Structure 1
Amino acid sequence: QNQESESDSIPKISESNSPIKLKNQLKLDYDQILVGNSQTGHQKYLNDIYTDLYVVQNETGGRVNDHEVRQIELNLKQSDCKDTPIECNNIFKVHMGRKNRKVLTMGIAGVGKTVSVSKFIHDWAHGKENQDISLIFPLPFRELNQKELITQKLSLMELLHKFCFSSPEELPSLPEGDGKVMFIFDGLDECRFPLSFKKNYRITGVHEKTTLSKMITSLIKRHLVPFSLIWITSRPAAASLIPRNYIDQVTEVRGFNDEQKEKYFNKNSDPEVAGIIIRHIRKIRSLYIMCHIPVFCWISLNVLQPLLAQKGNDKMPTTLTGMYIHFLISQQQKMVEKYNDDLEPKDNAMSFDKIILKLGELAFKQLEKGHLIFYKEDLEECGLDVSDGSVFSGLCTQIFHKTVSTRNVYSFVHLSIQEFLAGLYVFLIHKNEKANPFLQTWKEEVAWKFSKKTPFHLHKAAINKALQSENGHLDLFLRFLLGLSLESNQSDLKELLPKLKLKTEKMKCTAEYIRKKIENENSVERTINLFYCLSELKDDYVEEIQKNFRTGNLSVENLSSAQWSALVFVLLISEETQEIFELQKYRRSDEALMRLLPVIKNTKRALRNCNLTSQSCESLSSSLQSSNSPLRELDLSCNELQDSGVELLSDGLKSPNCQLEILRLPICSLTAQCCKSLSSALLSSVLGELDLSNNDLRDSGVKLLSDGLKSLHCQLKILRLSGCMVTEEGCGYVSSALSSNPSHLRELDLSYNHPGDSGVKLLSEKLEDPNCSLDKLKYVEQKSHYACNLTLDSNTANNHIILSEENRKMTYAEENQSYPDHAERFDRAPQVLCRESLSGRCYWEAEWSGKAHISVAYKGISRKQGNRDCMFGLNRNSWSLICSDDKFLASHNNHTIDTCVSSRSCRKVGVDVDVSAGTLSFYSISDTHKLTHLHTFNTTFTESLCAAFRLMVYNSSVSLCQTEKPVSSNRDITHTPV
């Protein structure tokens, strides 16, 4: 391999040779990186295999004690949030005028923290990056755990001599200056000695002898070498060992994003093979999630590449358990090849199945304790002889990792391998000995002794044990244990363990027990893991639920607790809901929102026309305050939130965690009262678009809103106040606000208000003001701007409908009319369609008497039946306003909504449809031509539309009104800056 030419020309940083010697030593240590295990010496050059990792400023902010697979799932949902990606070489560079001296980098096991550290050191040693640093001292906790270091007192200089220099003369002192010296403490989670930050000791001298604990805490507290740079890496659960007030910057390694994952496979395999692997993993959610961990990508490559090379082999693992079984098989084959090539095989070398069983025992016992690193005595307790090369050869060289130091430290390459071997161990000892390692009391042991000792009884104990864990540290272990019970996995396992006796086990009892647990489980995270357990068992419950949701069979039923949980699970793992979640597809209610809140928290856009009330707003407000929530667009249009609901939402908007950019609140029964809390929220939120259209805000509400708009802290760029009863007085408040804060608001919608000439003039002046950012002002005074003239289509009219006034009036008659037969005619329902198709934005008005449906329908709606499929308002193909003597009702798909508006003094209705926007609004029109909003349907129109009418009782009628199109009073002014 060719090394970088820069390595031969390292700039001299000080008169001492210490930096040069240190860089040369670090080149030897970090030019190559282990792939698998140190025992085999299988090393590759870092630059040849390094793939960029997704590192972000700030941490997840989730519960750091959760099982790390849960944290991958959380990060996967948040990967499109506005995190700030940062290259590992830039972590200590000046950002926004601030230089970070102490950085904590968090990340789950195997995600790439140590590789990031290695890359940083490698590039510094080769003179590529961070050359303002004179000396970098890597001090991994794994090596600091040596007994002689923990028990004896030594100075900082003595410690550095032990780790980095052979004699004191090579490093007589540390260079002075800000950021000239850097200490890297990798693996805080592996620290086996206490770090106490509460005690007030101060170690200040580099030659002062002290304990290792006091030395490290003094460095972090900045008592010792105060101007040094310190980088600490840790798994999330151990990160709290260091109080945050001692850390300048927290970063998080998220592993591979989608692009980096594909780059890894393409870099390490043939492009065609890489493509097949990527497509296979994408199809299986559990594998796709795990592949955000670089180590799992390595495992997948080790498994899938050889399988694809076998001709005619189309059998690829589709579960996590299957993947890890095949991984063991591939490593067993490597072990066999090694021993076949070994000229002097050892007679006492353990067989593969014995190695697996003993490693499994070690994995299980240490997993129960929460340990990921082990020592010689831990191995010997499980019958593993550390001097036996077979323990670290073949399979175990890549499963097990041995760190050479004064006191050897051992670990599995990744936590998931430890969890799988632990599951395999429990599976085998039950199969061979009917043992149950979960028994804790003598009563349980007696009960087990006299039980049938079936796999179900073992599974039941394991499920209960896993559910008792607060941090879910047995979640993945449980999935592996259950998956190993499948006959298909046991068949593959027999290739690994030939002595294994195959026995078909019935998993029905286990699956039913899991379903019962789902019914009673309140924790979303635990419920999700239980569903993953069902997936490992290949149980069809989740598929049944998915099928019913897709067909809509469950949207109108009373769901059980388990079905709600299943819906949450299905939606959380769906890529579709990561972008937008439409609650109305499932259940339009406050209860549905509460049940599906975990999904809403993890989507970018939600929720409109969902029959919500102020009751839901407290939960939504809490979601907005969740750290790193991906929710960016909240569409609450056409929900009865009222002022009290919006006041609760405003509390969420004020949270520093809230990243909501768009808030839509049209037709939410709001008044001026809510504007005070919204105005206050504008002072601190990042909200860029606010839509309050069709609410009774009036000038008093606009005045309160303008108080927020005036603030330079207000980030609002788009404000929509269409149909809010604003006059020239309200326009004056907005104009004044734009004078105070002219740099943000770019678009203002005041259509369907009464600003008068003076109001329009005030705001138009702001359009021309070069110091004001406003460049779009919408003002449309009358909906007749979009008026369309319609005619009734006689070919569609039912035989009891009389058309008159040039086909602009219809009347319901008892007598049968002599219309000719026609394929488009409604043969039973007293209905008629209009001839013209609706496109773009359309508005029309109609007068009615008796009882009538004023509707919009797809042209392809059924004609020849008298059931719901053809009747307007009772199916998916039509939307209706039902007009009767006392009230107005809105109806779609046989779901009726009371508009709460009386029809006694009104006999004229306006219909406004915007086909591209997917909105259909109905208005009652008074004698003075005042429009009162009745209802708005929000949908996506997928077929050709036309106006439609249905009469309910004899002698009822509907007449289409002639609507003029005035030009002078309508404005849609757009100003584009030069």
Structure 2
Amino acid sequence: MGNCTIQGKLVYQYDVVNRRPRDHKLKASLKRKFHFVPEGMTTEENQIPLNSIYTELFITEGRGGEVCQEHEMRQIEKFTMTRVAQEKSIDCNCLFDPLPGQGHQIRRVITTGVAGIGKTVSVNKFTLDWADDWANKNLQFVFPLSFRELNLMSKQTFSLEQLLHVFFPEVKDLDILTNDKHNILFILDGLDESRPPLNLDSEILSDVTKPSKIDVLLVNLFKRKLVPWALVWVTSRPVASIQILLECFDLFTEVRGFNDAQKDEYFRRKIRNETVANRIITHVKSCRSLHIMCHIPVFCRMTANALNKNLSLTDMINAPNTLTEMYLRFLAFSVETMKKRLPKTIDSHVDFIRENLMSLGKLAFNELEKGNLVFYKRDLKANGIDVSQASLFSFYTQIFKEEPTVCGEKTFCFVHLSVHEFFAALYVFLSFHNDNKNVLLKKSSASRFPMRDKSEFILYREAVKKALQYENGHFDMFLRFLLGLSLETNKILLKHLMTSDRTKPKTRQEIIKYIKEKIRASPSPDRCLNLFHCLNELHDHSLMEEIQNFFSSGGLNRAELSPAQWAILSYVLLTSEEKLDVFELSKYTRSEKGLHGLLDVVKAARVANLNACKLTVNCCEKLSSVISSSQIQELDLSNNNLRDEGLILLCGGLMNSKLETLRLRSCNLTEKSCDALSSVVKSVSGLLKELDLTDNDFEDVGVKKLCVGLGSPHCKLEILNLSMCRVTEEGCTFLVSALNSCSLRQLDLSYNHPGDDGLKLLKTMERDPQCKLEKLCAEQCGESRVQPGLRKCKSKGYLFSIKATFRDVFKGNRPPKRTSDQDRADFQTQVSCSQGMASMGVAYRRTSTKGEGGDIRTGQNDSFWGLNCTKGKYQVQHKGTSTPIEDQEPSHKVGVFLDWSAGTCSFYSVSCGDRSHIRTLNIAFTEPVYPEFHLAWKNSSVYLN
């Protein structure tokens, strides 16, 4: 008795001696067919056993056969950039096992996946394992069929029995299809390639001996009219044509390609030299675009072939970093391989190679326009390729495949969709430079405007327009490759193919300008995101600014981004050449959905500013995971309603983070979160040096808990802000005790109530040479500061001009000079507005002393910063411009909060004693400021509390 184990799991037991003779011939035939991988030159010395190179793929249960209309490259980017929540991997050899909790037998399975992701290899491996008696011993017969071969017989009629005998003559004498005791599996690979697409309304057929068209046979096989007891496994790209067949299947699965560990395993299997393999793995991981593409097994193979020679050298400076560069290296590798195979009778290898590559490119471009990925001899002939010379393409088996079929006719295809698109772009590029021909222009228009053929800008402009015509992104990668080829550094790699160069120095800037205009004009986020990719290909260093402008100008207000679109934006930001040192979420979005989509960008930044982005407890768990595994040194989460529950979740990641600065101002925290904060402060691995907890209701109980961490020998904290935290004299005694042993240098207790005794104790510690405390701030303290909520903001203050008071906090900085008590400012004003329009904010004194004139109106000069409240919306005002705030519900009561020394002016909507953050303005104040109000409409009014 023998056992077969896959990934530690017993799949079956079988008797080695008692093999069934009925399937022996079929198994022998399938072994011969699938034993080797069709990789590289089809010679015996280059044949690679499938089992020696096969790497397990990540296959997961799909989402009900969901069909995605976007470009397959974007689907790969989406998968690699989004975080999949605990998806279970399915073993390829266990597809027909009942799912947990389901007792019924699975008989029909469909597996989807983008081109090159490994569907066909999975089919081959499944079949080979069965033929080798390694798995699925319960199956008596397995019949793998390819739609590429079936297409060649689409005009003929067969019975199912006859069709089976054509492809598998080994079973001709066996009674298989009429005996329901036989456990049979039909595998149909490449449903998306079916020509024509299957029609579910085909005639009903149940007789396996009755002839009919092949598409009719297959539909009835799917619908269990033919051989209803048989198992059926179908693979397909996720295209719309499979939608009509979804009701026929019991299980939907999806091939996701390689995960990170599987990529490494593949490279080590493919490249025997361990040093070279490790260099390639390191380089791929360092280049995000390559790392993402290597989720596709075919791309891993291309990368291994292209880099094997390059990265075996010590110098890795010129290693490719973009997709275009990688494909050019892969092309160079293929050309060098071809040169070695060319017969000596060919006079000019260079001319021969150029002509053949142009023929391939023409085929690629024309068939891309038709949407065809698989070609036949008639397609080659239609594109000017001599069918009798088609065998010449065997020299290009790294990029172009020819496959024999049972009926003798061959099928052709590029090794991957992206290679197809690259060659289409290469053809358009070389046609322009070598032949002075713009193939993107229609003949009629080209004849009317002959000079347009000679304009490089027109070439790229037409390519952009062509890509924008397709909402599904059909020409997106073509456009990115075409623009990438235009770079001088990439043209060096094409010198053996370019006979002339018609590039003009100004063209690059012209097309960059044109793309930016299209970004601003396009209503589609998908179209804009691909244009961002194009700017990246052109190495445009204003890319980050352009993306931010797109968002700030209302790009998001026209159409909310989907998770997939956020994923692509994240990819664009991360693959940009601009260094992502400081990331400000508010420049792109103020939402948790946006944060989830940009978590990888947050992870890559050194400084992450998430201030006032409407974050709640819902995002804290994922954010905690990112923080714990990132290089973030400074994190600002101020003005978000995190509450204690959210902060406790965050602290799990903070314990193991690289954070040195953490700001949690106005996050609705209480003493309940102080135990978790104390653990972070005293963490052995922690690096936290600055902690801002301003405006949270910790009270003395919370300070006591926090001081447990401050007194730990592992605490590295140097700056602590507890302003407006309702701390009294009792809390000061806890702080004094902690100061005896902690590393704190600065402590801010402004707007609390330490009392005379508490303040005296703290100042004694400040003067103590044994204590490290150097600076103590205790401004604007008093008994009213211990009131809960907004009441702690109230103060007697001094009333002046329009009777409003504002906060002026001094954190060790020199306060502004005051000439009298009338210039003194406290901290908050609440303004109630009736229907109409009112503006409020802060201004330098000079704006109200210059007399009448347009420049002194509120918001019309550079000395005023404020908020305009009008019907249904808010607007930020400064220098005569108004910036709308689209993501905030309007309120009739607004609070204005000024922190002069910190350079912030915050606005809050106030309701039932609770405040909701509207916006914070960051301002480098140079002199004292005063409140200023303006009524613009009749019947507008302002009430000051």
- Shorter-chain TM-score bucket reads 0.5 to 0.7
**1:917-937 per-position Cα deviation (integer Å, ceiling 9, x unaligned):** xxxxxxxxxxxxxxx776899
Q: 2:188 aligns with which of 160, 165, 185?
A: 185
Deviation at 1:153, TM superposition (A): 2.3
Q: Measure the CA separation in 2 of the matches of 1:558 and 1:66.
A: 26
Deviation at 1:173, TM superposition (A): 2.9
Matches within 5 A, 1:477-516: 477-494=478-495, 496-497=496-497, 499-501=499-501, 503=503, 505-506=505-506, 507-516=508-517
Aligned to 1:402: 402
**1:508-559 per-position Cα deviation (integer Å, ceiling 9, x unaligned):** 101110111111222222222111111111111125568xx8xxxx99x955
Q: Measure the CA separation in 1 of the matches of 2:746 and 2:239.
A: 72
Partner of 1:151, secondary structure, is coil
TM-score by length of 2: 0.64
Deviation at 1:805, TM superposition (A): 3.3
**1:21-41 per-position Cα deviation (integer Å, ceiling 9, x unaligned):** 211211111121211365788
Partner of 2:387, secondary structure, is coil
Matches within 5 A, 1:840-859: 850-851=796-797
Give the conservation status (yes or no) of the 8 Å contact 1:141–1:191: yes
Distance 1:607 1:252, change over 3 A: farther
Distance 1:469 1:332, change over 3 A: same
Give the conservation status (yes or no) of the 8 Å contact 1:364–1:422: yes
Deviation at 1:796, TM superposition (A): 9.3
- What is the one-letter code of the residue matched to 2:339? V
Aligned to 1:831: 779
**1:823-869 per-position Cα deviation (integer Å, ceiling 9, x unaligned):** 98889x993899xxxxxxx99x9898534999999xxx96353379x
Q: Measure the CA separation in 2 of the matches of 1:390 and 1:384.
A: 11
Distance 1:850 1:289, change over 3 A: same
Aligned to 1:630: none
- The number of equivalent residue pairs is 710
**1:906-926 per-position Cα deviation (integer Å, ceiling 9, x unaligned):** xxxxxxxxxxxxxxxxxxxxx
- What is the one-letter code of the residue matched to 1:142? R
**Structure 2: runs of 5+ lacking an equivalent:** 6-11, 620-635, 649-666, 675-696, 699-725, 740-744, 762-768, 783-787, 799-804, 818-824, 832-894, 921-927, 931-945
**1:277-306 per-position Cα deviation (integer Å, ceiling 9, x unaligned):** 233223333222211111111111111121
Partner of 2:37, secondary structure, is strand
Partner of 1:139, secondary structure, is strand
Aligned to 1:210: 212
Q: 1:139 aligns with which of 128, 141, 145?
A: 145
Bigger mean CA offset, 292-301 vs 890-899: 890-899
Q: Measure the CA separation in 1 of the matches of 2:392 and 2:903.
A: 67
Aligned to 1:154: 158
Aligned to 1:865: 814
Q: Measure the CA separation in 2 of the matches of 1:500 and 1:847.
A: 74
Matches within 5 A, 1:327-342: 327-339=330-342, 342=343
Matches within 5 A, 1:96-245: 96=100, 97-146=103-152, 149-166=153-170, 168-169=172-173, 171-174=174-177, 176-177=179-180, 180-199=183-202, 201-238=203-240, 240=242, 242-245=244-247
Distance 1:791 1:167, change over 3 A: closer
Partner of 2:388, secondary structure, is coil
Partner of 2:491, secondary structure, is helix
Aligned to 1:525: 526
2:253 equivalent to 1:247 = no
Give the conservation status (yes or no) of the 8 Å contact 2:828–2:897: yes
Aligned to 2:852: none
Give the conservation status (yes or no) of the 8 Å contact 1:140–1:185: yes
Q: 2:290 aligns with which of 287, 290, 293?
A: 287
Q: Measure the CA separation in 2 of the matches of 1:796 and 1:139.
A: 75
Distance 1:157 1:98, change over 3 A: same
- What is the one-letter code of the residue matched to 1:250? F
Aligned to 1:587: 586
Partner of 2:142, secondary structure, is strand
**1:50-96 per-position Cα deviation (integer Å, ceiling 9, x unaligned):** 01111110149765221110110111133532322111111111222
Q: Measure the CA separation in 1 of the matches of 2:811 and 2:646.
A: 35
Q: Measure the CA separation in 2 of the matches of 1:824 and 1:262.
A: 51
Give the conservation status (yes or no) of the 8 Å contact 1:881–1:889: no
Aligned to 1:698: none
Give the conservation status (yes or no) of the 8 Å contact 2:111–2:235: yes
2:361 equivalent to 1:351 = no
Partner of 2:452, secondary structure, is coil
Distance 1:430 1:545, change over 3 A: closer
Give the conservation status (yes or no) of the 8 Å contact 1:60–1:252: no
2:757 equivalent to 1:806 = yes
Give the conservation status (yes or no) of the 8 Å contact 1:423–1:480: yes
Distance 1:436 1:92, change over 3 A: same
Aligned to 1:757: none
Aligned to 2:820: none
- What is the one-letter code of the residue matched to 1:159? L
- What is the one-letter code of the residue matched to 2:77? E
Deviation at 1:193, TM superposition (A): 3.3
Q: Measure the CA separation in 1 of the matches of 2:144 and 2:215.
A: 17
Distance 1:293 1:68, change over 3 A: same
Q: Measure the CA separation in 2 of the matches of 1:895 and 1:584.
A: 21
Matches within 5 A, 1:342-421: 342=343, 351-388=352-389, 391-394=392-395, 396-405=396-405, 406=407, 407-421=409-423
Give the conservation status (yes or no) of the 8 Å contact 2:206–2:226: yes
Aligned to 2:454: 453
Give the conservation status (yes or no) of the 8 Å contact 2:456–2:502: no
Q: Measure the CA separation in 2 of the matches of 1:310 and 1:847.
A: 67
Report sequence identity in percent: 32
Deviation at 1:208, TM superposition (A): 2.1
Q: Measure the CA separation in 2 of the matches of 1:185 and 1:93.
A: 19
Distance 1:402 1:78, change over 3 A: same
**Structure 1: runs of 5+ lacking an equivalent:** 621-634, 642-661, 667-692, 696-719, 723-750, 753-781, 811-819, 835-841, 869-879, 903-931, 940-950, 954-978
Q: Measure the CA separation in 2 of the matches of 1:519 and 1:885.
A: 39
- What is the one-letter code of the residue matched to 1:121? T
TM-score by length of 1: 0.62
Aligned to 1:465: 466
Bigger mean CA offset, 135-144 vs 378-387: 378-387
Partner of 1:104, secondary structure, is strand
Partner of 1:280, secondary structure, is helix
Q: 1:299 aligns with which of 294, 298, 302?
A: 302
Aligned to 1:423: 425
Q: Measure the CA separation in 1 of the matches of 2:748 and 2:491.
A: 68
Q: Measure the CA separation in 2 of the matches of 1:402 and 1:545.
A: 44
Deviation at 1:424, TM superposition (A): 0.7
Give the conservation status (yes or no) of the 8 Å contact 1:39–1:393: no
**1:770-810 per-position Cα deviation (integer Å, ceiling 9, x unaligned):** xxxxxxxxxxxx99999564789999999xx9998335499
Give the conservation status (yes or no) of the 8 Å contact 1:219–1:226: yes
Distance 1:89 1:529, change over 3 A: same
